[in-house]
């Protein structure tokens, strides 16, 4: 299953999430420039358990050189598809967690989840000579936090079934629960101390996210984080909005909501709404006039239900101004 987007749009621009993605991209370009020295870089900056389990080998490294890989390894990847998959999951789930925690707390949360994942991998692969790299552990923590905070959110998911492709909206708790089961199943049947995907790191990061989000969510936004939020608040709602209209008994008229920000209410806006019609969706442009107030109803003539005689009702959209 491949997630395409979630149903919750963050109220602030995810500046930290974007910076993390950019940092991973730059690190990957640096990797490509290393050529034959890449393997040495993985051994130096990746998590190699034997460096910690073998006293003789451990003595050859300083304390900083032993701690640094738990951070550095989060920004290194084994190939194009490795980094592409990780960054896509981070893009889908990370913005909402950053929006909830604030930029500073999110930065700390992300790093702590990655470190926790690295420690779990170290414990479960004690003595391994294989370096482990990747942001998967930290991103698993983001997914664990998402399960706690937004379990009822819908995830638009691409599901390939043989030669057919299905697009399905799946509740987040089902999508993430299925993902976790796959990790547990894979970890149980994967021999230790072999190369490949670090499933226990994924599980450790996910559990760390479940625990840390409860703690971080209790810490109020203060200082720099609160100041940054003032500059990163989104000034507009999505241009495309999906409307789920409802109808009253024995009426042809339909009723729905359209969401805008205060600035859009003041100056006006233009939105593209997707209205379900049977198994398809019809896209319609809607103009929000300037000085629109909360609760204003916009009438879209003839876009309601139809009766057997061909008479059509109207679609009424109630304006909701978000804080």
Q: How many CB atoms lie within 10 A of CB 214?
A: 12
**Is the distance from CB of 305 to CB of 249 less than 8 angstroms?**
no
Predicted pLDDT of residue 224: 55
Beta bridge partners of 269: 288
Predicted pLDDT of residue 205: 94
* 323 residues of the chain, pLDDT tens digit each: 788 888 888 888 899 999 999 999 999 999 999 988 999 999 999 999 999 999 989 999 999 999 999 999 999 998 999 999 999 999 999 999 999 998 889 999 999 999 999 999 999 888 889 999 999 999 999 999 999 999 989 888 888 877 777 788 889 999 999 999 998 888 777 766 555 678 889 999 999 999 999 998 887 665 555 566 666 767 777 777 778 888 888 788 889 889 888 888 888 988 888 877 665 677 888 899 999 999 999 998 888 888 888 888 888 999 988 87
Nearest to 198 by CA among 132, 254, 245, 274: 132
Using alpha carbons only, what angle is made at residue 228 by residues 217 and 112, rounded to the nearest 5 degrees?
45
Residues 6+ apart with CB under 8 A from 210: 144, 145, 147, 148
3-state class (DSSP) for residue 261: coil
Question: What beta strand segments (E) does 93-181 contain?
Answer: 154-161, 164-171
Beta bridge partners of 247: 254
Integer angstrom CA distances of residue 26 from 20, 83, 90, 270: 10, 11, 16, 37
**Is the distance from CB of 47 to CB of 65 less than 8 angstroms?**
no
Domains, the chain: 2-232 (1.20.1540.10), 240-321 (2.60.260.20)
Integer angstrom CA distances of residue 302 from 21, 196, 247, 284, 314: 45, 58, 14, 12, 5
First-last CA distance in the chain: 34
Backbone angles phi, psi at 24, to 5 degrees: -65, -40
Nearest to 178 by CA among 5, 3, 1: 1
Residues 6+ apart with CB under 8 A from 318: 255, 256, 257, 258, 295, 296, 297, 298
**Is the distance from CB of 155 to CB of 172 less than 8 angstroms?**
yes
The H or E element that residue 118 is part of is helix 103-124
Measured distance CA(233)–CA(237) in Å, rounded: 11
- Does this model's pTM top 0.85? My answer is no
């Amino acid at each position: 299953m491949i997630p395409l987007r979630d149903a919750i749009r963050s109220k602030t621009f995810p500046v930290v999430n974007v910076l993390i993605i950019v940092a991973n991209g730059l690190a990957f370009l640096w990797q490509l420039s290393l050529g034959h020295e890449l393997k040495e870089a993985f051994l130096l900056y990746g998590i190699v358990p034997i460096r910690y389990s073998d006293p003789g080998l451990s003595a050859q490294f300083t304390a900083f050189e032993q701690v640094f890989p738990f951070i550095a390894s989060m920004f290194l990847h084994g190939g194009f598809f490795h980094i592409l998959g990780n960054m896509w999951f981070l893009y889908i789930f990370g913005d909402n967690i950053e929006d909830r925690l604030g930029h500073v707390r999110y930065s700390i949360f992300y790093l702590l989840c990655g470190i926790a994942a690295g420690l779990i991998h170290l414990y479960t692969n004690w003595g391994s000579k294989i370096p482990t790299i990747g942001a998967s552990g930290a991103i698993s923590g983001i997914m664990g936090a998402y399960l706690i905070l937004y379990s009822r959110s819908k995830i638009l998911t691409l599901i390939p079934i043989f030669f057919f492709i299905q697009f399905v909206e799946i509740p987040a708790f089902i999508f993430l629960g299925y993902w976790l089961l796959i990790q547990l199943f894979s970890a149980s049947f994967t021999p230790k101390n072999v190369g490949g995907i670090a499933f226990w790191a994924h599980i450790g990061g996910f559990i760390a996210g479940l625990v840390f989000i409860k703690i971080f969510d209790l810490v109020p936004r203060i200082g720099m984080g609160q100041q940054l939020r003032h500059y990163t608040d989104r000034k507009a709602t999505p241009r495309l909005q999906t409307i789920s209209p409802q109808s009253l008994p024995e009426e042809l008229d339909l009723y729905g909501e359209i969401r805008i920000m205060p600035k859009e209410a003041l100056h006006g806006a233009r939105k593209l709404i997707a209205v379900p019609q049977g198994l398809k969706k019809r896209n319609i442009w809607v103009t929000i006039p300037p000085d629109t107030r909360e609760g204003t109803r916009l009438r879209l003539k003839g876009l309601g239900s139809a009766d057997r005689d061909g008479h059509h009702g109207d679609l009424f959209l109630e304006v909701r101004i978000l804080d």
